[in-house]
Structure 1
Amino acid sequence: MKQITYIKGDATVPQAKGTKLIVHICNNIGGWGKGFVVAISKRWPEPEKAYREWHRNRAKNDFELGSIQVIQVSNDKYVGNIVAQQGIKTGSKGVPIRYEAVKTCLEKISIEAKKLNASIHMPRIGCGLAGGKWTEIEPLVEQTLLEKDLDVYVYDFD
């Protein structure tokens, strides 16, 4: 089985040849404006626009925990908006991250990455504002992406 390649740097500037799919976690309430999404929006307007439209029309589409959206932002780069965060605040049900939704999303991302023949690039998803632990997320990445023989790069911003 492949291993995760850990890189010091910016996940919005993926360090690999070929097609790249940058994956990050979104919440299920339409909020976009803090955390890694800020770096995405500074680089490309399309992922935020697509996410907001997806949320706005949620009565007519699949916008919910466990759903994904893949947006092409250049010839060889795509951004995967994955909905795996319940709201934005820690409450009675704990931190916002939903590990089961992360797993479902990553399973769907693996299918899209295979179709695109893309490597996967991400920060330590779910471990910032969502409040998750990498010790919980890393095995999900292994089960859903590495076992599908995908190249996975995880970035730690300096």
Structure 2
Amino acid sequence: MSEITYIRGDATVPSVKGVKVIAHVCNDIGGWGKGFVLAISRRWPEPEKSYRAWHRERASNDFGLGAVQFVQVEPYVWVANMVGQRGIRTGSKGVPVRYEAIDAALERLAEKAADLGASVHMPRIGCGLAGGKWSRVEPLITDRLVRRGIAVTVYDHGEGPS
């Protein structure tokens, strides 16, 4: 069985051939303005526009924890907006990350990646502003994606884990 590949670099610029899905975690309150989403917005305006519309029209769609929105940004590149955190601040209920929502989103991501024949590229999802622990997220990625034969690359930006 293959493993997750870890490299230092920018997850918005995967250097592999074929169809690619860039996956990241969003919050459930419509906020887009800090963290990895800024790198996405610098390259493509569509994922932010789509996410904001998805949130705005949430009464009539599937927006919510565990949902995923797939936005095609180039002929062979998609961005997966995965709703995996409750709000944006650490409070009485703990950090914003919701592991069960990330797990559900990864299951949807696996189905889409398999349909597209795509590899998946991501930062350490849920572990930046969402406050999650990679030791809890990594096994979810292994279970949902790697075990299905989907190639996953995790990008560490700069000096340390992001």
TM-score, normalised via structure 2 length: 0.97
SS of 1:25's partner is strand
- Equivalent residue, structure 2, for 1:92: 92
Counterpart CA distance in 2 for 1:105 and 1:111 is 10
Deviation at 1:61, TM superposition (A): 0.4
Q: State the alpha-carbon separation in 1 of the partners of residues 23 and 90 from structure 2.
A: 23
Counterpart residue identity of residue 65, structure 1 = L
Give deviations 1:41-98, integer Å, cap 9, x for gaps.
0000000000000000000000000000000000110000000000000011100000
> Could you tell me the TM-score, scaled by structure 1's length?
0.99
Structure 1 CA distance, aligned partners of 2:18 and 2:61? 31
User: Mapping of 1:1-158 within 5 angstroms?
Assistant: 1-158=1-158
Q: Which amino acid aligns with 1:125?
A: I
Partners of 1:157 and 1:15 lie apart in 2 by: 15
Structure 1 position 2, deviation (Å): 1.4
d(CA) in 2 for partners of 1:138, 1:15: 22
Tell me the CA shift for residue 132 of structure 1: 0.3
Cα offset, 1:133, TM superposition: 0.6
| Identity across matched positions, percent | 61
Counterparts of 2:2 and 2:99, CA distance in 1? 22
CA–CA separation in structure 2 for the residues paired with 1:17 and 1:52 = 30
* 1:29 maps to amino acid: I
Q: Could you say what the CA RMSD is over the residues aligned between the two structures, in angstroms?
A: 0.5
Secondary structure of 1:101's match? helix
- For 2:7 and 2:70, the matched residues in 1 are separated by 23
- Give structure 1 stretches of 5+ with no counterpart: none
SS of 2:143 mapped into structure 1? helix
- Which amino acid is 1:22 matched to? I
Q: Output the CA distance in 2 between the equivalents of 1:40 and 1:103.
A: 22
CA positional deviation for 1:15: 2.2
Give the ranges of 4+ consecutive aligned residues of structure 1 lying more than 3 Å apart after TM superposition. Answer: none
Equivalent residue pairs, number: 158
- Deviations along 1:5-28, whole A, 9 cap, x unmatched? 001000000121100000000000
**For the residues of structure 1 that align with 2:48 and 2:134, how far apart are their CA atoms?**
25
Letter in 2 for 1:67: A
Which runs of 5 or more residues in structure 2 are unaligned?
Answer: none
